[in-house]
Amino acid sequence: MIFIFSAPSGSGKSTMVNHLLATFKDTFELSISATTRPPRGQEQHGREYYFMSVEEFKQLLSKDAFVEHEQVYEGLYYGTLKSEIERIEGNGHHVLFDIDVKGGVNVKRLYGDDATAIFICPPDLETLRKRLEGRGDTSPEMIEKRLAKAEEELSYKPQFDYVIINDRLERATAELDHIIESRLKG
Binding window for ligand 5GP (CB under 6 A); candidates: 22-30, 66-74, 122-130, 165-173: 66-74
Backbone angles phi, psi at 37, to 5 degrees: -80, 150
Q: Which of residues 155-174 bind ligand ADP (CB under 6 A)?
A: 166, 168-169, 172
What is the chain's percent helix, strand, coil content, to nearest 5?
Answer: 50, 25, 30
> Is 3 one of the binding residues for ligand 5GP (CB under 6 A)?
no
Is 160 in contact with 6 (CB distance < 8 Å)? yes
- Nearest approach in angstroms of CB 182 to ligand 5GP is 24
Binding window for ligand 5GP (CB under 6 A); candidates: 17-25, 57-65, 78-86, 115-123: 78-86
> Is 121 one of the binding residues for ligand ADP (CB under 6 A)?
no
Q: Which does 15 bind (CB under 5 to 8 A by kind): ligand ADP, ligand 5GP, none?
A: ligand ADP
Chain centroid to CA 39: how far? 16
- Nearest approach in angstroms of CB 30 to ligand ADP is 12
Is 95 in contact with 3 (CB distance < 8 Å)? yes
10 Å Cβ neighbour count for 150? 19
- Nearest approach in angstroms of CB 36 to ligand 5GP is 10
Helix, strand or coil, per DSSP, at residue 116: strand
